[in-house]
Structure 1
Amino acid sequence: MYVVGTELFVFSPLLPTLAVNYDVSSNAAGLCVTTFSLAYMISAPLLGHVSDRLGKRQVLICCLLAFGTANLLTASAANFPWLLALRLIAGAAAAGVSPSIYALVGDAAPPDRRATWLALTVSGLLVSLALGASPAALVGATFGRAAIFFALALFSLALVALNCSVWPSECRHGGAARRPRDRLAVASLTCRLMPMIAWSTGLYGVYTYLGVGLTAFGFSKSQVARVVMVYGCGAIAGTLIGGRLADRLGAKYTAGVSLAGLCICFLLLLLALRAGVLVDLAVGLSATVAQLFFPAQQSGLANDFPVRRGAVLAWNNSALFLGISLGSLIGGEAVAIGSFDMTLIVCAAMALTGCIINWIVVPGPTLVLTNRLGCPK
């Protein structure tokens, strides 16, 4: 999860450098995030279905191999179209890594500790913000971006052997994958994914262009890297706290608090940037509040859709990356039309919208009855 997170998050501080290296605008450079996210979004449901049928371990190992290869080629991408093509491949491969790990952990975790276990898993992803993306940005500024992707490729390929030994072989559940679909269950899952789309659109609309926005406010590369590290530390804390809150208070209330708080935090960040004070604190607080949502959303889905947990969590990750794609597009347009200030305002409104949707569509912390597909009735 650390390697996948570094691959995803490092592009925000790298966008100004990529724009210069490939002679494109910052808005165009943001397509690196969009293409990765679109490939992830499209591939995740398919790979989730395959993992439920053929085994999560097999899908995880194959996708790690593809992910490492894509990063190795990214290090030597000669032009911008080739870079975008490799981002598509990396996104598709990552779509088989993250959901498989989440599903394996969800299967192994006791029900009353599932949110906490998933939060610990997600923390591996978010550690990359503080100890991956930020140092990688400094490495890129010193040795060039190729060094970052060579390192990611080596780590990915090394993890193939490790994951072969960590996860036991699985029994294949081909019969489960061929069960008839329940249209009401599909509609229920679709509604449950809407808060994730709103959350990721708002959060990553800001994060994708955070480096561009800070640079516009006069921050140096080292200062941007420092802010990204603060963001990562806040995100790790928020994820761990969110897992415990979701186990104690329920997924609905934890997610609602996160979305409402994120709206407020973005407006506070806007004020901090304009005043030129407490920017690090505002960014760290925003990250902490935002990441309360993710383990709550995951544990809610894992509890309510137990039979098809692999596929459902893959759909959740697909919704996450749909939101990331929308966020990068919306954030880029806001920066192009107005400024980073406008991006913060638009994304604050999106977080508030997600809070309202969450309150409407997510069931409260009551006993969830399930049909034979493991979906809420």
Structure 2
Amino acid sequence: MKERRLSLLFFLVMFVIGTDTFLVSPLLPTLTRYYGISTSLSGLIVSAYAVGYMLSALLIGPVSDRHDRKRILVIGLIVFTLATAGCGLANTFPLMLVTRFTAGIAAATAGPQIWAAIPVLFPKGQVVKVMGYATAGLAVAQIVGVPLGSYLAVISWRFPFFFVGTIALILTLLVARFMPSLNEVRTAQPKSSIYGQLLQNKPVLKLLGAYLLFQTANFTGFAFIGTWFAKSFGLSVGTIGSFILVIGVGQFVGSLIGARLVTWLGQPHAFLLEFLLFISGYVVLPLASSALVATIILALIYTIGGALLPLFMSTLQDQARSARGTISSLANAVMYLGEAIGGVVGGILIKQFTGFSGIAVFTAIGVTLAMLLYARQGYFKQLQTSR
């Protein structure tokens, strides 16, 4: 019973953190009008959260390794609750940027403690399964985060932030009540030692560079789907949420079928095919004649994206087997750096180019460059299956 309770609690914590990440996307058109800012500036709301997460992800690992992980988790959730609720109270654009930045810091403080706590709290035979529950929380958040923001925003744009903040407060109390302390003794190690080793590892740097290119392109597209649908097709916030829900289901399905595709084709061929299909989807996307057609194309694109992400992570992990936790932190930081860049670039492109054409071309080029970096390291050759 205790293990099932903790598993559910970890699922919910990762779900609420993931939901907050994607909550803002459908609100951008409304926030743009409310604050009286340009569409390009609205991307900074996405970027502020990403920058906060990125900076915190790089620093929190060494801190949490020397303190009680439960305490770090509770502190992170408290700050996350206050910052998310603060977003709903933000009456000025600068205040919104500050609260989103703080929410990003808090999310990066809380989330990694879940991954670190699971191997300590659960028997070895259950670790992978419980890790799967936590991962499922993030996957479900990607599916429902954007439409949830859309549906709740029908009441008020402030309400989604108050709703997520309330759920986070309840989870904070549950973590404090049911999660045991994790103040296990750890081996002291200089903060920079592992990072220093990884930064001297050229294959790791190339893979992180490819991952940065992919995530920058990916978030540039995803963050402005709602803005595109509102401007080009005249859709309401609620309707946009429904369409993006379909797109999110595509990503969830992709995460489930990706392993089967690797088994069927082999990892090198599956990896290359998924890259090519993802790029092709963005090439044809600007030709969509309606929101429905665009949604179908995007659902297919993000089905492929869901299958690609595990391959990115597995290749990174294989290159840093003695520092898996650190490489995960670096990957998270790189992902949110990509989101931060994408928020700025996407805001400019959606304003300067007709429809989604500028963003689609930028995304296709970015993913192509990532694919070429992987190709140069031999990841699409059959020999690479022995890595």
Q: TM-score when scaled to structure 1?
A: 0.85
Alignment of 1:213-292 (within 5 A): 213-221=228-236, 222-242=238-258, 255-271=271-287, 273-274=288-289, 278-292=293-307
Task: Provide the C-alpha distance between the structure 1 equivalents of 2:250 and 2:100, rounded to a whole number of angstroms.
Answer: 27
Paired residues of 1:119 and 1:240 also in contact (CA < 8 A)? no
Paired residues of 1:258 and 1:293 also in contact (CA < 8 A)? yes
Q: Does 1:67 align with 2:83?
A: no
- Cα 1:362–1:293 change in 2 (3 A) is farther
Task: Provide the C-alpha distance between the structure 2 equivalents of 1:82 and 1:121, rounded to a whole number of angstroms.
Answer: 31
- Cross-structure match for 2:50: 37
Paired residues of 2:69 and 2:181 also in contact (CA < 8 A)? no
**What's the Cα RMSD here?**
3.0
- Cross-structure match for 2:222: 207
- Cross-structure match for 1:195: 210
- Cα 1:190–1:299 change in 2 (3 A) is same
- Cross-structure match for 2:3: none
- Cα 1:88–1:183 change in 2 (3 A) is closer
Instruction: Determine helix, strand or coil for the equivalent of 1:171.
Output: coil
Range moving further from structure 2, 243-252 or 339-348: 243-252
Task: Provide the C-alpha distance between the structure 2 equivalents of 1:200 and 1:266, rounded to a whole number of angstroms.
Answer: 14
1:152 to 161, 164, 176: 164
1:50 to 33, 57, 63: 63
Task: Provide the C-alpha distance between the structure 2 equivalents of 1:72 and 1:319, rounded to a whole number of angstroms.
Answer: 27
Residue ranges of structure 2 left out of the alignment (5+ in a row): 1-13
- Cross-structure match for 2:320: 305
1:321 to 292, 312, 336: 336
Question: Percent same amino acid among aligned pairs?
Answer: 23
Task: Provide the C-alpha distance between the structure 1 equivalents of 2:244 and 2:294, rounded to a whole number of angstroms.
Answer: 11
Q: Offset at 1:342? A: 1.2
- Cross-structure match for 1:140: 153
Residue ranges of structure 1 left out of the alignment (5+ in a row): 368-377
Instruction: Determine helix, strand or coil for the equivalent of 2:188.
Output: helix
Task: Provide the C-alpha distance between the structure 1 equivalents of 2:71 and 2:260, rounded to a whole number of angstroms.
Answer: 31
Task: Provide the C-alpha distance between the structure 1 equivalents of 2:117 and 2:347, rounded to a whole number of angstroms.
Answer: 36
Task: Provide the C-alpha distance between the structure 2 equivalents of 1:60 and 1:71, rounded to a whole number of angstroms.
Answer: 16
Measured against aligned partners, the alpha-carbon deviations of 1:275-319 in whole angstroms (never above 9, x if no partner) come to 665222111111111122222223443454344333221111000
Measured against aligned partners, the alpha-carbon deviations of 1:216-256 in whole angstroms (never above 9, x if no partner) come to 22141232111110111111112233356668988766554
- Cross-structure match for 2:367: 351
Task: Provide the C-alpha distance between the structure 1 equivalents of 2:328 and 2:102, rounded to a whole number of angstroms.
Answer: 21
Range moving further from structure 2, 343-352 or 213-222: 213-222
Instruction: Determine helix, strand or coil for the equivalent of 1:217.
Output: helix
Task: Provide the C-alpha distance between the structure 1 equivalents of 2:359 and 2:191, rounded to a whole number of angstroms.
Answer: 44
Instruction: Determine helix, strand or coil for the equivalent of 2:386.
Output: coil
Paired residues of 1:103 and 1:309 also in contact (CA < 8 A)? no
Task: Provide the C-alpha distance between the structure 2 equivalents of 1:252 and 1:67, rounded to a whole number of angstroms.
Answer: 40
Range moving further from structure 2, 50-59 or 321-330: 50-59
Range moving further from structure 2, 327-336 or 45-54: 45-54
- Cα 1:360–1:65 change in 2 (3 A) is farther
Q: Does 1:131 align with 2:144?
A: yes
Paired residues of 2:230 and 2:240 also in contact (CA < 8 A)? yes
Task: Provide the C-alpha distance between the structure 1 equivalents of 2:377 and 2:324, rounded to a whole number of angstroms.
Answer: 19
Paired residues of 2:220 and 2:346 also in contact (CA < 8 A)? yes
Instruction: Determine helix, strand or coil for the equivalent of 1:295.
Output: helix
- Cα 1:361–1:153 change in 2 (3 A) is farther
- Cross-structure match for 1:370: none
Instruction: Determine helix, strand or coil for the equivalent of 2:184.
Output: coil
Task: Provide the C-alpha distance between the structure 1 equivalents of 2:329 and 2:197, rounded to a whole number of angstroms.
Answer: 19
Range moving further from structure 2, 241-250 or 6-15: 241-250
- Cross-structure match for 1:366: 386
Q: TM-score when scaled to structure 2?
A: 0.83
Task: Provide the C-alpha distance between the structure 2 equivalents of 1:61 and 1:303, rounded to a whole number of angstroms.
Answer: 32
- Cross-structure match for 1:296: 311
Instruction: Determine helix, strand or coil for the equivalent of 1:75.
Output: helix
Paired residues of 1:120 and 1:240 also in contact (CA < 8 A)? no
Range moving further from structure 2, 173-182 or 228-237: 173-182
Instruction: Determine helix, strand or coil for the equivalent of 1:173.
Output: coil
Measured against aligned partners, the alpha-carbon deviations of 1:315-372 in whole angstroms (never above 9, x if no partner) come to 11000001111111221221222132111111111111111112334863435xxxxx
Paired residues of 1:195 and 1:355 also in contact (CA < 8 A)? yes
- Cross-structure match for 2:4: none
